Structure 1
């Protein structure tokens, strides 16, 4: 800090004790002690006793007085030093900038020596490169490359399905033939052996195709990342270029054969509203009610030219503060979502299977502790997740969403009437809270907490359930204003796709009654004079 305190001063410790023969005669001892003393006073006492042949019965007294001396002198040393430094500071005799720089240097050296060395990860570099390129003229080329990868994966999935179907049909015919000959030339042991052989064959085929798909996805992922980083360098160094592709990449994008475009999807029931929420500072939101399967937001159709526009919006919002999310009811493994996610390669996040595996490992211990606290039922505590729990997966290869909120719920258990304190309703609250905290500004959720309708779901039941969900969501969105973060600008509520038009119209009429819908101001013409 300063030159004055570079070397610690030495103070003399004085100690006297009487002789054994005459108490009036004192032995006087004077020992220099460096202040502040960095060692142990008891150790110093032992050295003094051995060096000067002091009687051992004086050890406790000597140790006590030496410790008091060191404490007192250390306090005086610090007081004198601090007073001197304060006076130097008042008189502008200290180089404050030099002291600050010295502390900064020592802090940096200490951090570099002991802190964990962390730099920008490869994921962060790739994210920055992708975000820069999708907001440039290279966006169209990126979408073409990703679409070509998706077509390759889709073609392999189609071949796998055809291969599995052929094997299944052959095995089914073989099993039927053996069942016909049962008790004549075929025994039950033969049937069991045939079933085991069929199962082994199915497992072998599934494993072979799964290995090929994994290898293809890994190859595409590494090639895509390498191409993207090379494209970024090419695009940064080349002005006026609208495509960062090399000639080799351009040849790879040529389709093998012109595919017939799929027929346009049938028109679906939907209606949109602009609403205002808030008592004093009102916020504007878009609410859309639509009859659709929420999985349609996840499914890609690489052969459909209209998919380019959907992928464009998804790519532009991938690394932004305007993410899109969807709520899917999940009572078990999301097989339909897994199929949709497998149709296109995932270049930015872990695959859905790996994410689910990681979630299962992380949630096991806290969920078991929670379940033990809530219930002593052994059957219930075996389940890691319960109704109303939510887990989240991230995606870049789905059609319209970046985040999927998996709400654990059994649709059959929700067939009856529920209250606003039901676990699934509270799960929706947690979803909206997480969405606001992580920049998910567009969110789609099942209006009736069901993905399809049955004969038991009457029009009156649909109206009651929709009214409950909309009122709860309205309260949760109002509550979200106090949570901070991004507000849900667009809220899409999806009725099951088999909703009848008259029921849909009845559900759509609930929105103006529950929310305050903005209406145009009608100006009256002034009367003619």
Structure 2
């Protein structure tokens, strides 16, 4: 685009009007106007009225005429400019490179002026540093540091529990002594006062320990991040060097505890009729909370190697926990969270975020009545973790224990529909491995007979089969491994029966056995 085509042109606007005494005598007004005109035509009319002492009763007519003139001349200006550019292009007179450079310059200036000035955040820098270090010789040291931090927190939690237990025991003995002397040397008012005093003591003790735990976690998080950023500078200087500034660099390697025996079986299955998809299914008898624990006894610090390697990747691991309607999860608070917001902060943010939409949804369902809980059975809230042994993402499925005790639930049950949403969310967010409670219960109870467990497992597996096919058809990450967790107390006979159920629902791959032909 040449400089001539960008220049404005001056056009003369003419306007005639009769005098007040003689209509045949016309005043002729000529005003130069820059085309294209960037200002307001109404403002220009006001300036003309004042400058040339035009009668005010002509304002509306002058506005209309000037707006028509500017519109018509602007259209002619663009038509002439475009026709000239087309002719230049046809005659190879147009410098395309200058046009591109001009557009590039204008775009950059516009971005600099109006775009949000945002650089790489501290979280992104830390994530990149951690990802590089865990794939380097520094991995062993990092695992030892994080394991030591976790043990320190666990010891403080143990001391807290023991302290509160001792306080509770002391208070119980005091209350029993007061109750024994009731109506002898003790009155009801004294007992009520003692109960209030005990409650205050419990609150103060819990608050004191919570404050100490928060301070410890904050210190560990800050120290760990500072050490990692120092370590990445050392590693970038010499990739063969293992960071030596670790506060735990002199620690001896941790002994590995023996693995606790548990029932487990694995299957490779195929889903789909034409385009078959291969998945792995693990059937395991284990407490779901063990899969979401940061304190596994089967490998010390090394039990978290795989989650650490995959933390900032597209191959995340997830776990499903059945929860009540309250946004809480005390089982996941053991170790310090070094990468994401603290679990309490995540839960507070979730509670604030769901309050308004959940209240509106529940009011519609209840016909205007106010629901007691924001979350209802089938709802799901998600927390992120870097300090668990088998999961980066925990899906908290809100369930109603009373309804799940029945063995006659259908595929339209809220818990089943919530499981469907979980699998869809997993595929859309790079979760390629997920563990689910196969019976939608974490513990065995009296009503969970063998027949009850078989019916529930068959329903969940059939629904999961359809959900996985549906989720994979919508794009995103492919779900590679599905862990079906059973309560740890399940009997070997029932576990074997549930294992035999899998090949009846899924197409299980197996070796081809050729029989020798008779001679």
Q: Tell me if both proteins adopt one fold, taking TM over 0.5 as the criterion.
A: yes
**Gaps (5+ residues) in structure 1?**
none
Contact 2:257 2:300 in 1 (8 A): no
Q: CA deviation at 1:277?
A: 0.7
- 1:286 is aligned to 280
Structure 2 counterpart SS, 1:441: strand
| Closer, same or farther: CA 501–377 of 1 in aligned 2, 3 Å | farther
Q: Do 1:300 and 1:307's aligned partners in 2 also have CA atoms closer than 8 Å?
A: no
Distance 2:245 2:19 in 1: 100
Q: Does 1:489 align with 2:488?
A: no
Q: Which runs of 5+ in 2 are unaligned?
A: none
CA distance 1:61–1:149, change in 2 (3 Å) = closer
Moved more, 437-446 or 89-98: 89-98
Shift of 1:295: 0.6
Distance in 2 between the 1:85 and 1:52 partners? 39
- The answer to whether the 8 Å contact 1:411/1:449 transfers is no
Question: How far apart in 2 are the matches of 1:350 and 1:410?
Answer: 29
> Would you say 1:504 and 2:495 are equivalent positions?
yes
Describe the shift of the 1:138–1:44 C-alpha distance in structure 2 as closer, same or farther (beyond 3 A).
closer
Instruction: Please say if residues 291 and 391 of structure 2, whose CA atoms lie closer than 8 Å, have aligned partners that are also in contact.
Output: yes
CA shift at 1:141, angstroms? 1.0
Distance in 2 between residues matched to 1:456 and 1:58, nearest whole Å: 92
Q: Is the Cα contact below 8 Å between 2:327 and 2:351 reproduced in 1? A: no
- Partners of 2:180 and 2:20 lie apart in 1 by 119
Partner in structure 2 of residue 391 of structure 1: 381
Equivalent residue number for residue 33 of structure 1: 33
> Please, what TM-score do these two structures have when normalized by structure 2?
0.94
Deviation per CA, 1:409-465, whole angstroms, max 9, x where unpaired? 022221111111111111110000011111111111111111112222221111111
Separation in 2, partners of 1:239, 1:414: 54
Cα-to-partner distance string for 1:216-258 (whole Å, 9 max, x where unaligned): 11111011001111111111212432x212275424x469xx9
Match of 2:312 in 1: 319
C-alpha spacing 1:41/1:181, structure 2 compared with 1 (3 Å): same
Q: Aligned ranges for residues 43-122 of structure 1 at < 5 Å? A: 43-122=43-122
Aligned to 1:455: 446
Partners of 1:62 and 1:221 in 2: CA distance = 72
Q: Structure 2: how far apart are the matches of 1:162 and 1:403?
A: 31
RMSD, aligned α-carbons: 2.3
Q: Secondary structure at the match of 2:483?
A: strand
CA distance in 1, matches of 2:306, 2:438: 24
- Give the alignment's TM-score, normalised by structure 1: 0.92
Q: Distance in 1 between matches of 2:57 and 2:166?
A: 100
Distance change (3 Å), C-alpha of 1:81 and 1:508: same
Q: Is the Cα contact below 8 Å between 2:325 and 2:375 reproduced in 1?
A: no
1:382 is aligned to 2:365:
no
Give matches, 1:363-512, under 5 Å.
363-376=354-367, 378=369, 381-416=371-406, 417-512=408-503
Deviates more, 1:178-187 or 1:385-394: 178-187
Report the count of equivalent residues. 518
Query: SS of 1:378's equivalent?
Result: coil
Select which of 278, 297, 301 maps to 2:295.
301
